Chain A
Amino acid sequence: MSEVIATNQTILVVGGGISGVTAALESAECGKQVILVEKNPSLGGRVSQLYKYFPKLCFPSCGMEINLRRIKANRNLQVITMAEVSGVSGEAGNYSVSLKKRPRYVNDNCTACGECGKVVEAEFDDEYNYGMKKRKGAYLPFNMSYPQRYVLDPRIIGTPDADKAKEACKYDAIDLESQEEEIQLNVGAIIWATGWRPYDAAKIQPYGYDRMENVISSVEFERMLDPFGPTGGKILRPSDGKEAKDVAFIQCAGSRDRNHLRHCSRICCMATLKQTTYLREQFQDDFKASVYYIDIRAIDRLDDFYQKVQEDPNVTFVKSKVANITEDKATGNPVLHGVDTEGYHRYSNPHDLCVLAVGMEPSVPKDAFPVEVKINESGFIESNGSGGIFAAGCSSDALDVNRAVQSATASALRAIQVVNRVAGTEG
Chain B
Amino acid sequence: MSETKIGAYICKGCGLGERLDCDQLATIAEREGKANVVKQHDFLCNADGVKMIQDDIDNDGVNHVVICACSRRAKTEAFNFENVAISRANLREGVIWVRPDAEDMRETTQEMAADYVRMGCFEAKFMTLPASEQEKGHNNRLLVVGGGDAGMTAALEAAKAGYPVTLVEKTGQLGGSLGKMWKDVPSHAPYADPVEPDVKELAAQIEAHDKITVHLNATITKTSGSPGQFSADITTESGGTTTENFGAIVQASGAKSYDMSKLPELGAGKSPDVVDQMGLEQLAMEANGGAIKRPSDGKEISNIVFVQCAGQRSTKEGHLPYCSGHCCLTSIKQAMYFKDQNPSIETNLIYTDLRTPGAGGEDFYRSGQEKGIIFTKGIVSEVSSSGGGLQVKYKDLILDEDVNQAADLVVLATGMVPNSGVDIEAAPTEAEGDGGNGASQEVTVESILNLTYRQGKDLPHLKYGFNDSHFICFPYETRRSGIYTCGPVRRPMDSQQAREDATGAALKAIQAIENAKLGRAAHPRSGDLSYPSFRKEGCTQCKRCTVECPFGAIDEDEERYPVFNESRCRRCGTCMGACPVRVISFENYSVDTVGQQLKNVDMPDEFDEKPRILVLACENDAYPALDMAAMQGNHYSQWARVIPVRCLGSVNTIWVTDALNAGYDGVVLMGCQKGDDYQCHFVKGSEIAHERMSKIDDTLETLNLEKERVETYEVAITDIERAPRLINDMAAAIEKMGMSPFKF
Are A and B bound to each other? Answer: yes
Residues of A bordering B, CB below 8 Å: 18, 22, 25-26, 29-31, 53, 56-67, 69-70, 72-74, 109, 111-114, 143-144, 148, 170-171, 227-228, 256, 262-264, 266, 295-304, 307, 319, 341-344, 376-378, 380, 382-383, 397-399, 401-403, 405-407, 409-410, 412-414, 416-417, 420-421, 424
The reply to whether B471 and A63 contact each other, CB–CB distance below 8 Å, is: yes
The stretch among B316-324, B341-349, B698-706 that forms the contact with chain A is B316-324
| B681 with A66: CB separation less than 8 A | yes
Name the distance in Å between B414's Cβ and chain A's nearest Cβ.
15
Report Cα–Cα, A148/B45, bound state, in Å: 13
Q: Which residues in A have their C-beta under 8 angstroms from that of B189?
A: 376-377, 382
Q: Is the CB of A30 within 8 A of B510?
A: yes
The one of B45, B377, B468, B472 that contacts A63, using a Cβ cutoff of 8 Å: B472
Task: Given A111-B45, A111-B75, verify A342-B397 contact (CB < 8 Å).
Answer: yes
Which A residues lie within 8 Å of B503 (CB)? 409-410, 413-414
Note all chain B residues with C-beta closer than 8 A to A376.
188-189, 359-360
A135–chain B nearest beta-carbon distance, Å: 14
Minimum-distance CB pairs A-B, first 10 = A63-B473, A409-B504, A410-B503, A413-B507, A378-B359, A266-B357, A72-B76, A263-B359, A300-B325, A303-B323
| Chain A residue with the shortest CB-CB distance to B501 | A406
CA distance A262 to B362 in the complex (A): 7
> Once the chains bind, are A412 and B621 in contact (CB under 8 Å)?
no
Which chain B residue has the least Cβ–Cβ distance from A61?
Answer: B717
| Separation of A22 and B508 alpha carbons in the complex (Å) | 12
* A402 engages B359 (CB within 8 Å): no
Residue B716 interfacial (CB < 8 Å): yes
What 1/0 flags go to B494-530 for Cβ under 8 Å of A?
0001001101101110110011000000011011000
Inter-chain CA distance A67–B321, complex, in Å, is 33
25 sample A-B contacts, Cβ–Cβ < 8 Å, listed by A number: A29-B514, A60-B472, A61-B718, A62-B620, A62-B717, A64-B473, A72-B76, A73-B527, A111-B75, A113-B14, A114-B631, A263-B363, A264-B356, A297-B355, A301-B323, A301-B464, A304-B321, A307-B315, A377-B363, A405-B474, A406-B475, A409-B503, A410-B504, A413-B158, A413-B506
Q: Which of B161, B464, B472 contacts A402 (CB 8 A)?
A: B472
In the complex, A376 Cα to B192 Cα: how many Å? 13
**From B366, which residue of chain A is reached at the shortest CB distance?**
A262
- A171 to B15 CA separation, bound complex (whole angstroms): 12
Taking a contact as CB atoms under 8 Å apart, the answer to whether A401 and B358 are in contact is no
Shortest distance in angstroms between B524's beta carbon and chain A's nearest beta carbon?
5
Among B362, B497, B514, B720, which residue has the most Cβ atoms of chain A within 10 A?
B362
Contacts of B353 in A (CB 8 A): 295-298
Q: How far is the CA of A60 from the CA of B75 in the complex (A)?
A: 22
Task: Specify which chain B residues have a CB less than 8 angstroms from the CB of A72 in the assembled complex.
Answer: 76-77, 80
Give which listed residue, B354, B359, B463, contacts A377 with CB less than 8 A: B359
> Contacts of B721 on A, CB cut-off 8 Å?
227
Specify which chain A residues have a CB less than 8 angstroms from the CB of B73 in the assembled complex.
Answer: 69
Q: What is the minimal beta-carbon distance from A394 to any residue of chain B, in angstroms?
A: 10
Residues on B with C-beta less than 8 A from A307 are 313, 315, 321
Across the interface, which residues of B come within 8 angstroms of A69, CB to CB? 73, 76, 620
Complex: A242 Cα to B162 Cα, angstroms: 61
Using C-beta atoms within 8 Å of the partner chain, give the interface range for chain B. Answer: 35 or more
CB-nearest residue of chain A to B476: A409
**Cβ contacts under 8 Å, A303 to chain B:** 313, 321-323
CA distance A73 to B493 in the complex (A): 34
On chain A, the residues within 8 Å of B324 by CB distance are 300
Identify the closest chain B residue to A143 (Cβ).
Answer: B628
Give Cα distance in the complex from A171 to B14, angstroms: 9
The minimal Cβ–Cβ distance linking B514 to chain A, given in whole angstroms, is 5
- Are B492 and A301 in contact (CB-based, < 8 A)? yes
Q: Which residues of B contact A (CB under 8 A)?
A: 13-15, 43, 45-46, 70, 73-77, 80, 157-158, 160-162, 188-189, 313, 315, 321-325, 353-363, 377, 397-398, 400, 463-464, 466, 468, 470-476, 491-493, 497, 500-501, 503-504, 506-508, 510-511, 514-515, 523-524, 526-527, 620-621, 624, 628, 631-632, 672-673, 677, 679, 681, 716-718, 720-721
A399 vs B75: C-alpha distance in the bound complex, in angstroms? Answer: 34
Residues of A near B673 (CB, < 8 A) are: 58
Task: Tell me, rounded to whole Å, the shortest Cβ–Cβ distance linking A47 to chain B.
Answer: 8
User: In whole angstroms, what is the CA distance A405 to B527 when docked?
Assistant: 20
Interchain CB contact under 8 A, A62 and B621: yes
Shortest distance from the beta carbon of A28 to any chain B beta carbon, whole Å: 9
Kindly list chain A residues whose C-beta atoms are within 8 Å of the C-beta of B524.
Answer: 66, 70
A26-B511 contact, Cβ under 8 Å, with A61-B717, A171-B13, A413-B504? yes
Nearest-neighbor residue (CB-CB) of B187 within chain A: A382
Question: Of the candidates A59, A70, A114, A416, which one forms a contact with B523 in the assembled complex, judged by CB atoms under 8 Å apart?
Answer: A70
Known: A109-B46, A303-B322, A304-B321. A398 touches B358 (CB 8 A): yes
CB-CB < 8 A to A53: which residues of B?
472
Question: Is there contact, CB below 8 Å, between A74 and B507?
Answer: no
B599 to chain A, nearest CB (A): 28
Q: In the complex where A228-B632, A382-B188, A412-B507 touch, is A301 in contact with B717 (Cβ < 8 A)?
A: no
> Which residue of B is nearest A424, CB measured?
B162
Most A C-beta atoms less than 10 A away, residue of B13, B70, B353, B361: B353
Q: Separation in Å of the A329 CB from the closest CB of chain B? A: 35
Tell me the minimal C-beta distance from A62 to chain B in angstroms.
5
Known contacts A53-B472, A398-B358, A420-B161; decide if A58 and B322 are in contact (CB<8 Å): no
**Cβ contact of A57, chosen from B80, B526, B624, B677, cutoff 8 A:** B677
| B523: chain A residues within 8 A (beta carbon) | 29, 66, 70
**Chain A residue with Cβ nearest B718:** A59
Q: Decide if A58 touches B315 in the complex (CB within 8 Å).
A: no
* Distance, CA A300 to CA B313, complexed state (A): 9
Please indicate which of the listed interface residues A60, A67, A263, A307 has the most CB atoms of chain B within 10 Å of its own CB.
Answer: A263
A341–B162 alpha-carbon span in the complex (Å): 56
Let me know if A297 and B632 touch, CB within 8 A: no
* CA distance in complex: A113, B19 (Å): 14
Chain B residues whose C-beta falls within 8 Å of the C-beta of A59 in the assembled complex: 679, 716-718
* Complex CA distance for A264 and B360, rounded to whole angstroms: 9
Asked if residues B677 and A56 are in contact (CB atoms below 8 Å), the reply is: yes
For the complex formed, measure the closest distance between the CB of A202 and the CB atoms of chain B, giving whole angstroms.
Answer: 23
| Complex: A25 Cα to B632 Cα, angstroms | 29
On whether the beta carbons of A301 and B463 are closer than 8 Å, the reply is yes
Cβ 8 A contact of B362, one of A70, A256, A298:
A256
A264-B362 CB under 8 A given contacts A30-B511, A62-B679:
yes
Residues of B within 8 A of A407 (CB): 500, 504
Closest to B46 in A: A109
